Amino acid sequence: MIRKKINQIIVLVIDLLAFAKLKLYHPPRNEKSLLVNFENPQLYHRFFYLMLKFYQLSGYNIYYPMSFSKFRNLRNKDRYLGLILREKKFLSINKNNLTQDFIEINDKMFSPDYFLNYFEKGNQESKCFHVPMSFHPFMYNQQIWDNAVDTEKERLNSIFCYGNFDSKAYLDINRTEFNVISRTELLKFFEQKEQFVSIHHKEDITSETTDQLNEKFIFAIKENYPVAMGDLRELLSNFNFHLCCPGVVMPLCHNIIEAMSVGTIPLIEKEYAEVMYPNLQHKINAIIFKDLRDLNKILSEQLFDFSEMEISYMRKNVLEYYENFLMPESVVNHLNESITNKKLIYLQAEHRSVKFKN
């Protein structure tokens, strides 16, 4: 009990010092300013951090006035949301130097009911804006999200897939209203194929003897090969196709954004493609399958028979989609347009967004 009390006092002192230091921070004057008046950013956890990060990356000064109690709550309760107060010079808790033509965001502009349009409104997006999925937060936090990658190099005409395939965690999606194949089911499906390859090292892909990996289904399963974040986009750029597995409780997962950022073509289930806004399109910027039977047909009859011209066309469209809708500056432009036109903005709240449909 005494040790716990001492630790609480130590944390309190650390927070007091961090708060005092932040109160002294005044960002240099900037014509691009964002004023944040959010009472409940915790609702959106990592996605709130990502939205503010996109404004920062787009050259905005961020102003978020708050009390010490709110500071402590935001800083310590969620490791991703806490980044807004742990990253150096991320935001100011004062309004000093706030320009006259600032952008303001508040709770009333946003909704966590991210999938309402999909399930109840014919998937139309005319009077709203869905803030898109993005890389894993640490990709931006560690400043590795835009590392230079050669997207024009010769690629393996294969499927690449990576990530966690824990059977317990990734079966939760079966208890939602989404009608998608779980990643564990997808893994079982591909494991039965002769072309399935499970890799264990980065060198399995980057070595000079990779011709044997052509026209294969290549998986980097986390327990065998936990791909380092700094290697992700470079590894993805070695392949024509990326198998897009759904997340824990919803189709959307950061892996698809990481793949599209280097022009790797998504191989994706129809329902997943339709909760990307704008929707991905078959043979335009994705290869879309309806179910495992359809996927099997695509694998055996189409996927590895596309011409170089067709692959180049789809890759170009994938990169254009990323640049127009998923890049931080593009997202901020769409956010600002939505704010100006008073559109409702849907921001992911992960489990909370899915609960609206259960």
Which of 16-20, 28-32, 323-327, 329-333 is predicted least confidently? 28-32
Structure tokens at 323: 């640049």
- Gap between the Cα atoms of 235 and 104, Å rounded: 39
Summarize pLDDT for 254-308 with one digit per residue, the tens. Answer: 999 999 999 999 999 999 999 999 999 999 999 999 999 999 999 999 999 999 9
User: What's the whole-number mean pLDDT along residues 118-132?
Assistant: 89
User: What's the whole-number mean pLDDT along residues 93-113?
Assistant: 92
Residue 215 neighbours by CB distance under 10 Å? 14
User: What's the whole-number mean pLDDT along residues 231-258?
Assistant: 95
Which of 33-37, 335-339, 340-344, 354-358 is predicted least confidently? 354-358
Q: What percent of the chain has pLDDT over 90?
A: 80
Report helix, strand or coil for 77: coil
Which of 2-6, 33-37, 198-202 is predicted least confidently? 2-6
197 forms bridges with which residues in the sheet?
A: 218
User: What's the whole-number mean pLDDT along residues 45-60?
Assistant: 97
- pLDDT, position 357: 58
Place 208 in a pLDDT band, splitting at 50, 70 and 90: low
196-198/217-221 β-pairing: parallel
Residue 154 CB contacts under 8 Å (≥ 6 apart), including other chains:
none
- pLDDT, position 65: 96
Q: What percent of the chain has pLDDT over 70?
A: 98
User: What's the whole-number mean pLDDT along residues 22-45?
Assistant: 93
Place 143 in a pLDDT band, splitting at 50, 70 and 90: very high
User: What's the whole-number mean pLDDT along residues 24-52?
Assistant: 94
Instruction: Please give the full DSSP string across 173-211, using - where no structure is assigned.
Output: GGGSS-----HHHHHHHHHTSTTEEE--STHHHHSS-GG
Report helix, strand or coil for 325: helix
CA atoms within 13 A on the CB side of 299: 22
What is the model's pTM? Answer: 0.94
Maximum average pLDDT range among 150-154, 278-282, 354-358: 278-282
- pLDDT, position 304: 97
User: What's the whole-number mean pLDDT along residues 31-47?
Assistant: 95
Which of 39-53, 97-111, 113-127, 333-347 is predicted least confidently? 113-127
Q: What are phi and psi of 198, to 5 degrees?
A: -105, 120
pLDDT surpassing 90 at residue 64: yes
User: What's the whole-number mean pLDDT along residues 114-120?
Assistant: 92
Summarize pLDDT for 293-335 with one digit per residue, the tens. Answer: 999 999 999 999 999 999 999 999 999 999 999 999 999 999 9
H or E element, residue 61: strand 61-63
DSSP-H helix ranges across the chain: 2-23, 45-57, 68-76, 83-86, 116-120, 137-141, 183-191, 203-206, 229-236, 254-260, 270-273, 292-301, 308-321, 328-340, 351-355
Please, what is the average pLDDT of the chain? 93
Considering only the top CATH level, what class is 141-328?
Answer: alpha beta
Task: Break the chain into its structural domains and give their ranges.
Answer: 2-111, 141-328
Place 73 in a pLDDT band, splitting at 50, 70 and 90: very high
- Gap between the Cα atoms of 189 and 289, Å rounded: 14
pLDDT surpassing 60 at residue 209: no
Go through the chain and tell me how many residues it has.
358
